[in-house]
Amino acid sequence: MTAVISLNHVAMVFPALQGLGSVKALEDVNFEFRENEFVVALGASGCGKTTLLNVIAGFLPPTSGQVLHKGDPISGPGRDRGVVFQKHALLPWLNVIQNTEFGLKLQGVASAERRIRARENLALVGLSDFENYPIYQLSGGMQQRVGLARALTCDPDMLLMDEPLGALDAFTRENMQELILDVWQKTRKVVFFITHSVEEALFMATRLVVMSPRPGRITHEYKLDFYNQYFESGNARQVKSSAEFIAMREEILSIIYGEERSGLEP
Amino acid sequence: MNLGIFSRRKSEVVDQYGAPGRGRSTAISAVTIVIILGGWWLATQLELIRPLFLPAPEMVISKFNRIACTDYYFEQLLVLIGASAAVTSECQGFSEHALHEHVLWSLYRVFGSFFLAVITAVPIGIAMGMSRYARGVFDPPIEFYRPIPPLAYLPLTIIWFGIGESGKLFLIYLACFAPIAINARAGVRSVSIEQIHAAYSMGATSQQVIRQVVIKAALPEILTGMRVAIAFGWTTLVAAEMVAAKAGIGVMVLNAARFLATDIVFLGIVVIGAVAFIFDLIMRRIERALVPWKGKV
């Protein structure tokens, strides 16, 4: 399988602030995102998850190392890598459909065509009936769905999602996990998804990456197929309450807590 | 005792327990206005204060009729519709101009300057928010002149521009410029970095980010700046009309003061207040139409 994005020895060092030493946010990260992968990054705060996402998105140039998109080094943000943010980052002066088609408007696509493509993606996230709503009248979950539809409308190779469900309540969050998996199954984009929730990570990932702080790096990697069980059974609760899932959850939790504790020792 | 209008009626927004200043204040404001006007009327009826210091309301109204030439224009209207043969009364006005001419001259000066200020201060303010070079260049002169009262540099504008209209426009322009530029600059900061990143990751160019994200996000604050600016414009108007203006509300007030015609001074003040207030209402409407998301995101 070909790599859509590959990271070669990526390191990121933030310069020292007054009196404090410089921060190694990422150290020697090597990773490949392949076709059809749903990669989830999990780790305690400060482990460099968001830094890694920002490097891939092109918002942060790495201190050393390279990020390649299909073999070519990336030099900044681009529409081949769509981003869904924790705060929705929608534009409040545009309504739902205008937000969704915004990327195509930037690219100069004719309005009739961008309407059609925006509508397809709104249907995909289940918001067809809300086309003309102002975004500030939508709930948090719906705003995130618009954010997802907006990113999809640019038809990127890869979706970068920075804790997109972090601000949602527990029920909405579980529904959104299923919705995102369904959308992924239909579109087959490469996804890089960041979360704090172990359960969310296990449920959604085809590949799980556990990261560890000081310096930020990838410490564990798992290939998972709980998402497949969900696609087969259609029952997320059943997947999440299976013995296999719980055992895996405890394993990951012990890794993360173990690192937290060892990090506190002098 | 429960006075109806003072009772704490529920406002449209759900009142939170302990929220500061909750409830509507419109009815209370109406009572305040009635008390002020009633007190004014009563004080003059009882001759507590000499008309030189406080003219009676009816004196101000009759001055309004005389200066606005209401009789003259009413008769003209009658002639126009054929109800009367000829106009018998004269239009006296004040300082050789009828009230509407004074008002139009002042409107021309204030809005002309305001318009020039908007088309220059908005781009400069945005540029100051976006680029450290623009900020470095424009920040010192704006911050230097901003707190100086216009009366202090009024003589300079006369020396530079003479006693024609351009000096007056320049004076009001300066008064309007700073608040618009400063608010536009602050507005740039109200765009979130996520919104900018989102635009770039959808393939936006930096020009597109400025035009389609930054300026739109700054719009609520630009409009606030415009409201502040137009108020400054009215404040500066009287100063601008102090020198060699033939018509204008400021001229009217200043000439009236020279003749101790307190009632005309009152009339001028009321007219300026009314025009400024009406414009502010219009601006609030525009604000609601253009930036309905303000305060909701």
Structural contact between residues B57 and B40, judged by C-beta atoms closer than 8 angstroms: yes
Q: Under an 8 A CB cutoff, do A58 and B201 touch?
A: yes
Its sign, for the CA torsion B9, B10, B12, B18, is positive
Q: Please state, in angstroms and rounded to a whole number, the distance separating the CA atoms of residues B98 and B252.
A: 10
How much is the pLDDT for A266?
44
Structural contact between residues A151 and A82, judged by C-beta atoms closer than 8 angstroms: yes
Q: Residues of chain B whose pLDDT is less than 70?
A: 1-15
Give the ipTM of the model, two decimals please: 0.90
Reported confidence tier of residue A262, pLDDT bands at 50, 70, 90: low
Calculate helix-pair angle for B132-145, B99-130, nearest 10 degrees: 140
Reported confidence tier of residue A183, pLDDT bands at 50, 70, 90: very high
**Burial letters A227-239, b for 16+ CB under 10 A, else e:** bebbeeeeebeeb
CB interface of A with B, residues 216-255, below 8 Å: none
- How far A133 CA sits from the closest chain B CA (Å)? 12
How much is the pLDDT for A29?
87
Contacts of A245 (CB under 8 A, 6+ apart): A202, A203, A226, A239
How much is the pLDDT for A30?
87
Instruction: Give strand pairing partners of A222.
Output: A208
Condensed to tens digits (0 to 9), the pLDDT of residues A117-174 reads 999 999 999 998 999 999 998 988 899 999 999 999 998 999 999 999 988 888 899 9
Q: Which residues from A are below 8 Å from B192, CB to CB?
A: 87, 89
Condensed to tens digits (0 to 9), the pLDDT of residues A28-63 reads 888 889 988 999 999 887 788 888 999 999 999 888
Q: From the list A79, A105, A136, which residue is nearest B201 (CB)?
A: A79
Structural contact between residues A73 and A230, judged by C-beta atoms closer than 8 angstroms: no
Q: Under an 8 A CB cutoff, do B198 and A83 touch?
A: yes
Residue A261 has pLDDT above 80, yes or no: no
Contacts of A78 (CB under 8 A, 6+ apart): A58, A69, B201, B203
Q: Which residues from B are below 8 Å from A58, CB to CB?
A: 200-201
Q: Which residues from A are below 8 Å from B212, CB to CB?
A: 102, 105-106
Each domain of chain A, given as residue ranges in start order, spans 1-80+157-222, 90-155
H or E element, residue A216: none
Q: Under an 8 A CB cutoff, do B202 and A57 touch?
A: no
Calculate helix-pair angle for B132-145, B165-188, nearest 10 degrees: 130
Structure tokens of A152? 């999809």
Asked if the C-beta of A134 comes within 8 angstroms of chain B's C-beta atoms, the answer is: yes
Q: From the list A76, A90, A102, which residue is nearest B202 (CB)?
A: A102
How much is the pLDDT for B83?
81
Looking at residue B45, its amino acid is: Q
Condensed to tens digits (0 to 9), the pLDDT of residues A212-239 reads 887 888 888 999 889 988 888 888 888 8
> Would you identify the CATH topology of the domain A1-80+157-222?
Rossmann fold (3.40.50)
How much is the pLDDT for B7?
57
Q: What number of other Cβ atoms are within 10 A of residue A40's Cβ?
A: 27
Q: Under an 8 A CB cutoff, do A150 and B198 touch?
A: yes
Q: What percent of chain A has pLDDT over 70?
A: 96
Residue A263 has pLDDT above 60, yes or no: no
Q: Which of A5, A54, A91 to mutate to test the interface with B (most CBs of B within 10 A)?
A: A91
